[in-house]
A and B are shown apart, each in its own frame.
Chain A
Amino acid sequence: MSNAHSRHYLMIWIWLLALVVLSVAAASILPKTQALVLIFAVAILKALLVARNYMHLKNERAIIYAMVLIPLTFVIILLFALFPDFVYRG
């Protein structure tokens, strides 16, 4: 196994752990709303780090991106489609 690959994977792991620490710190230090924004931005960043580096999505073809992005788009549409249900209920 090439050392360059191992080092890269280890660096990503350290970043992932550092981001966990950041989330936990944000939850205990920041006001609720700011903390939530940061926590979920960090979660998205962590997911992207895993997908792009460990799942090698950054080297994959467009068809693989399409397979992931299409269902993901539907889930986001579902989330926003459900929002009015509680917004208008008060």
Chain B
Amino acid sequence: MNADTATMSDTAVPPGKTGTWWFLASEIPVFGGLIASYIVVRLGSAGWGEASGHLNFSLALINTFLLLTSSMTVVMAHAAAQENDFRRVANFLGLTVLLGLGFLGVKAVEYTTEITHGFTPAAGIFWSFYYGMTGLHALHVLAGVIANTVLWIGALRGTLARHGHRVELAGLYWHLVDIIWIFIFPLLYLA
């Protein structure tokens, strides 16, 4: 490797990270468009406060706690991967997966209660947005849980050590899922 090539590779962003950030950037218009439409339609319509009053605020608060905590555990896994401590990586990834599954479980309880009370996606524009936004977000959580589970199994088997950077990439995606919830939660449950 000549000196110029060495300098380039030292300063460049690793391809995996660039690809992940490209993907995350592509998610911004997806959720941003949905959130922008929700804000505009909500400001232009009456009666939304009453509809959102039927949501289960306590369950959403529990889910906020679960997701914020999982962001902390996944960044701890990343830090452990940088230290090549893959036993800790496995522990933190396992916790992240459990917290993600907890989030999905709580969301399932919430959906079940709402649907049993007649608040289906067809119950009105608020409910269409509610199921659209939270449903798309839940699918992202599910994808993150699957990715983190694959990495967790790799950490347990000892095969992740060769691909430690993947913990950071999966973590970046997981943090985006957390950030999206940071905006969905006040928009639907607090505003």
Binding site for B on A (CB under 8 A): 1-2, 5-6, 9-10, 12-13, 16-17, 20, 23-24, 27, 35-36, 39-40, 42-43, 46-47, 50-51, 53-55, 60-61, 63-64, 67-68, 70-72, 74-75, 78-79, 82-83, 85-86, 89
- Interchain residue pairs with CB less than 8 A apart (29): A1-B85, A9-B75, A12-B72, A13-B69, A13-B72, A16-B68, A17-B65, A24-B61, A39-B191, A43-B182, A46-B182, A47-B179, A50-B71, A50-B178, A51-B179, A54-B178, A67-B22, A68-B28, A71-B26, A71-B28, A78-B33, A78-B36, A79-B36, A79-B39, A82-B37, A83-B40, A85-B40, A86-B40, A86-B43
Contact B32 A85 (CB under 8 A): no
Contact residue among B13, B32, B83 (Cβ-Cβ distance under 8 Å from A61): B13
B25 sits at the interface (CB 8 A): yes
Tell me the bound Cα distance from A50 to B178 in angstroms. Answer: 8
Assembled-state Cα–Cα distance A73/B77 (Å): 32
Closest to B85 in A: A1
Interface size on B, residues (CB 8 A): 48
Interface residues of chain B: helix, strand, loop or mixed (majority): helix
Residue contact B190 to A24, C-beta cutoff 8 Å: yes
Task: Give the CA-CA distance A64 to B25 in the complex, in Å.
Answer: 9
B137: Cβ under 8 A from any A Cβ? no
- In Å, the complex CA distance between A60 and B14 comes to 11
Contact A27 B64 (CB under 8 A): no
Q: Are B190 and A1 closer than 8 Å at their CB atoms? A: no
Known contacts A39-B186, A51-B179; A68/B24 CB under 8 A: yes
What 15 new A-B contacts, CB under 8 Å, besides A13-B69, A50-B179, A75-B35? A1-B88, A9-B75, A12-B72, A13-B71, A39-B186, A43-B186, A51-B175, A54-B74, A54-B75, A64-B17, A67-B22, A75-B33, A79-B39, A79-B40, A86-B41
A75 near B80 (CB under 8 angstroms)? no
Proximity bits, B8-44, A CB within 8 Å = 1, else 0: 0000010001100110111011001101110111011
